[in-house]
Chain A
Amino acid sequence: MAKRTHTLTLTNGKTIKVHEKIRFRPYMAVFYVLLVIFAAIVIVPIWWMVANSFETIRSYAFPNPPNFWPKNFTWNNYKLVMMNTSIMANLKNSAAVTGLDVVLNLFIASIAGFVFSKGRFPGKKVLLLMIMSSMMVPFEIKLMPIFNIIQAMGLNNTYLGASLPGSLTAAFNIFMIKKFCDDLPDALLESAVVDGASKFRTFLQIYLPLMGPIIATLTVTTVMASWNDLLWPMIVLSKTEMRTVQVGLSSLTNSTFGPHSGMTCAASCLSILPLAVIFVFMQKYIVQSVAATGIKQ
C-alpha cells in the first residue's frame, strides 16, 4: 500500500512526519490512464521536434514514418542554423525586449499599485478607473494608431518602442500589485511619514521589499507573454536586424525556399530553450503564477 508523507510543524516549533495511507479506488486507475494519455499528447510533438533537431537530415522533408530518436546524431543543424540565419541576433533582440519589458512594466506597476493601495488623495478612483480602462481596450484594435505614435516619437525599430506601449499600460499588473498591497499594513507608511521619509522612499525601502512574491509571480507571466508575442514586434521591429525570435522563426518556417527541415527544428528548439530552462528550474513557481493570475499569453 502506498503512503504519502506530510511534514507538519507544531506550535512548539517541532516538526513531525505523518504518513497517510492512500486507498486506491477503481476510478483512479481510469483517471491515471486518461491523464497519462493527455500527457503523452503533450510530450510527443515536442519530443519529436527535439529528436529531429539532432538528426542528420539532408532533404526538406522530415523522415517518415517519424523517428523519435536521432539515428545519426549530429550538431550540424544547430551549427548551420546559427551560421546561415540570423537566429542568434533574433534571440538577442528578444532577450533585450523581454528584459526591458519586465523592468519597465514591473517598476511602473509596483509604484502605481502601491499608490492606489496606500495613497489617500482626491481623484484616486477616477485615475484608477482611467488606468484600468486599458484592460477593456484590446491592444489589437489600436495597432495602427499606436504604430503611428511610436513612429512619430522616432521609436520604431528600437527596443524601447517595442516595449513602451505595453509596459506603460500594464493595468493588469497594477491591479494585481494593488490587491497584494491591500494586505500589507498601512501603519508602515504612517510611521515612515511621521519620521520625515518621503512617500517614494517609503515605497522603495519598506514596501517594495515586501512585494517579493507578487513581483516574482508577475515577472514569470510577463516574461512568457513578452517572449512569445508575435503581432506587435512584427509591426514595430520591421528591420531584419531588429527582428525578435518569433518573427525570425516565422519568416524562416513560412518561406517557400527556407532552410532544410533539420534546421527549422533546431531553430525552433533554440527559440524555446531560454523559457524551457526557466520552466525546468521554476516549474512549481510557474504553475502557481498561472493559477494566481489566470493571465493569457
Chain B
Amino acid sequence: MHKTVKPQKFFQKYGEWYVMLAIPVLGTIIFNIWPLILTMIGSFQNTAGSFIGLVNYQILFSDPLWPKAVGNTLYMGVLGVGFSIPIAFLMAYMLNRVPLLKNVFKTIYLFPMIVSIVAVAMVFKFIFNADANSPMNLLLQKIGLAPLGWFSSTSTSRETVIIMTLWKNVGHSAILFFAGLQTMPTELLEAADIDGANEWHKLWNITVPNMKNTLIFVFITNTIGALKRFSDVYAIASEYGEPGDSLMTIMVYIYRKSFSTLFYKDLGVASAASFVLFLVIIVITMVEMKVTGETEALIGVSRKRRDA
C-alpha cells in the first residue's frame, strides 16, 4: 500500500485493460482530436501552409455568400425545428391516447427513416414540380390558389425542402416522444381526471412538464442536425445551392470550399467556416448539458437518461 507500485506489477495488474482500449483511444486521437487540431491550424494558414493570422476569417466574413449560407441555415433550422416538434408531439400524444393499432401507426411513421434522402428528393421533385400540372399545384388550384414554383423559386425553395425533411424525420421524433409518454406515471392523469380537468389542461399542466427532458433532448439534437444541414439541400440542388443561393447552407459552403470541382476552392476559408460551426455547436451542447445534467452521463458517472 505504502510502497510505490513497481512498473512490472502495474502492467500485470492493469495492462490488459489498456491493451483492450488501444484501438478506440488511437482511433479517437487519429480521427477526432488530430483532425480537430488540423482544422483549427488550417483556419490560420494559407494554401501554401504559412500562418496568415485571421485573414481566412476576414475573407470568410467578407464573402457575400457566407451570410447567405448562415441565414439560410438558421431560417431553415427555425422553420424545421419549429414545425417538427409540435407535429411530432401531437402525433405521439394521439398515439398514446388511442387503444388500438398503435404499433401499426408507429411502424408506418418510422418507415421514411429507411428511405434515403436521395430517393425522397427524387419523389418530392415530382410531387412539388414547378409545372402548373404537377400534383401539388393541381391540388392548390383545386382549392382556389395559384400554383407555386416550389423547389425552383427562391421564395419557396427553402420551405419546400423543409416540407420534404419533415416528411422524412417527423415520425422519428414522434417515436421518441411516444417512448417518453409511456414512461410517464398514469396516476397523475387519473388524478386530474377525477378533478375534472379537461384535455387541454392535462396536456399543458401535466404532460408537457413531465416530458421536459425528452423535449429538450429532441430539440437540441434537431437543432444541431439543422446547423449541419447538408444531405437534403444537396439532394435537391447539389453543390450549386440554387435557385439563387437560396439552398446554400453552411455545410454546402464548406463542402464547396473543400471538395468542389466546379467552384473556386479555398481550404483555409473552409477550415475557418468549419471552426466557426464547431464553436456554435459546442456552445449548444454545453447548454444542453447544463439544462439536462447530461455532463455526469458523459463523464460516466452512470446516470440514466430519464426518458428518450
Scan B203-231; emit 1 where CB is below 8 A from any A CB, else 0: 00000000000000110010011001011
- Indicate if the CB atoms of B115 and A39 lie closer than 8 Å: no
CB neighbors of A among B37-94 (8 A) = 38-39, 42, 90-91, 94
- Known A-B contacts A115-B20, A130-B25, A287-B110; A165 and B31 likewise in contact (beta carbons under 8 Å): yes
- Indicate if the CB atoms of B32 and A134 lie closer than 8 Å: yes
CB neighbors of A among B80-132 (8 A) = 90-91, 94-95, 97-100, 103, 105-127, 131
Does chain B have a CB within 8 A of A131?
yes
Q: Given the complex, which residues of B lie within 8 Å of A249, measured CB to CB? A: 116, 118-119, 122
Report the Cα distance A228→B113, complex, angstroms: 9
Nearest Cβ on chain B to A3's Cβ, whole angstroms: 10
Does chain A have a CB within 8 A of B191?
no
- Indicate if the CB atoms of B26 and A279 lie closer than 8 Å: no
- Indicate if the CB atoms of B42 and A144 lie closer than 8 Å: yes
| Chain B, residue nearest A116 (CB) | B300
| Chain B, residue nearest A274 (CB) | B114
- Indicate if the CB atoms of A121 and B17 lie closer than 8 Å: yes
- Indicate if the CB atoms of A145 and B38 lie closer than 8 Å: yes
CB neighbors of B among A34-71 (8 A) = 34-35, 38-39, 41-43, 45-46, 48-49, 62, 64-66
Q: Given the complex, which residues of A lie within 8 Å of B267, measured CB to CB? A: 144
- Indicate if the CB atoms of A294 and B176 lie closer than 8 Å: yes
- Indicate if the CB atoms of A39 and B109 lie closer than 8 Å: yes
Cβ 8 A contact of A112, one of B24, B106, B133, B138: B24
CB neighbors of A among B252-302 (8 A) = 254-255, 258-259, 267, 270-271, 274-275, 277-278, 281-282, 285, 297-300, 302
Report the Cα distance A199→B109, complex, angstroms: 43
Does chain B have a CB within 8 A of A82?
no
Does chain A have a CB within 8 A of B251?
yes
- Known A-B contacts A2-B100, A136-B285, A168-B27; A122 and B238 likewise in contact (beta carbons under 8 Å): no
Does chain B have a CB within 8 A of A77?
no
- Indicate if the CB atoms of B278 and A138 lie closer than 8 Å: yes
Cβ 8 A contact of A128, one of B99, B221, B299: B299
Cβ 8 A contact of A132, one of B17, B20, B21, B298: B298
Number of interface residues of B (CB under 8 A): 101
- Indicate if the CB atoms of A294 and B221 lie closer than 8 Å: yes
Report the Cα distance A149→B30, complex, angstroms: 8
- Indicate if the CB atoms of A141 and B274 lie closer than 8 Å: yes
CB neighbors of B among A81-137 (8 A) = 108-109, 111-112, 114-116, 119, 121-122, 124-125, 127-137
Report the Cα distance A246→B235, complex, angstroms: 10
Cβ 8 A contact of B28, one of A125, A168, A253, A291: A168
- Indicate if the CB atoms of A131 and B171 lie closer than 8 Å: no
Q: Given the complex, which residues of A lie within 8 Å of B195, measured CB to CB? A: none
- Indicate if the CB atoms of B31 and A164 lie closer than 8 Å: yes
Number of interface residues of A (CB under 8 A): 105
Nearest Cβ on chain A to B222's Cβ, whole angstroms: 8
Report the Cα distance A92→B22, complex, angstroms: 31
- Indicate if the CB atoms of A231 and B97 lie closer than 8 Å: no
Does chain B have a CB within 8 A of A224?
yes
CB neighbors of A among B7-35 (8 A) = 13-14, 16-18, 20-21, 23-28, 30-35
Q: Given the complex, which residues of B lie within 8 Å of A245, measured CB to CB? A: 116
- Indicate if the CB atoms of A28 and B99 lie closer than 8 Å: yes
| Chain A, residue nearest B238 (CB) | A254
Q: Given the complex, which residues of B lie within 8 Å of A122, measured CB to CB? A: 14
Does chain B have a CB within 8 A of A240?
no
- Indicate if the CB atoms of B20 and A27 lie closer than 8 Å: no
Report the Cα distance A35→B127, complex, angstroms: 22
Report the Cα distance A235→B270, complex, angstroms: 15
Report the Cα distance A115→B17, complex, angstroms: 6
Q: Given the complex, which residues of B lie within 8 Å of A253, measured CB to CB? A: 118, 121-122, 125, 235
Nearest Cβ on chain A to B33's Cβ, whole angstroms: 7
Does chain B have a CB within 8 A of A174?
yes
Does chain A have a CB within 8 A of B187?
no
- Known A-B contacts A121-B18, A137-B36, A290-B110; A4 and B99 likewise in contact (beta carbons under 8 Å): yes
Report the Cα distance A218→B36, complex, angstroms: 26
- Indicate if the CB atoms of A279 and B176 lie closer than 8 Å: no
- Indicate if the CB atoms of A228 and B117 lie closer than 8 Å: yes
| Chain B, residue nearest A142 (CB) | B35
17 additional contacts, CB 8 Å, given A28-B98, A35-B98?
A22-B100, A24-B99, A28-B99, A35-B105, A45-B123, A64-B131, A108-B24, A112-B20, A142-B31, A145-B36, A147-B259, A168-B27, A179-B304, A227-B116, A230-B230, A268-B118, A284-B103
Q: Which A residues form the contact surface with B (CB < 8 A)?
A: 2, 4, 22, 24, 27-28, 31-32, 34-35, 38-39, 41-43, 45-46, 48-49, 62, 64-66, 108-109, 111-112, 114-116, 119, 121-122, 124-125, 127-138, 140-149, 164-165, 167-171, 174-175, 178-179, 182, 198-200, 203, 224, 227-228, 230-231, 235, 245-246, 249-250, 253-254, 261, 264-265, 268, 271-272, 275-276, 278-279, 283-284, 286-287, 290-292, 294, 296-297
> Could you pull out 14 A-B pairs where Cβ atoms are within 8 angstroms?
A31-B98, A42-B108, A48-B127, A130-B28, A138-B278, A140-B277, A145-B38, A145-B39, A164-B31, A231-B234, A249-B118, A265-B122, A290-B110, A290-B176
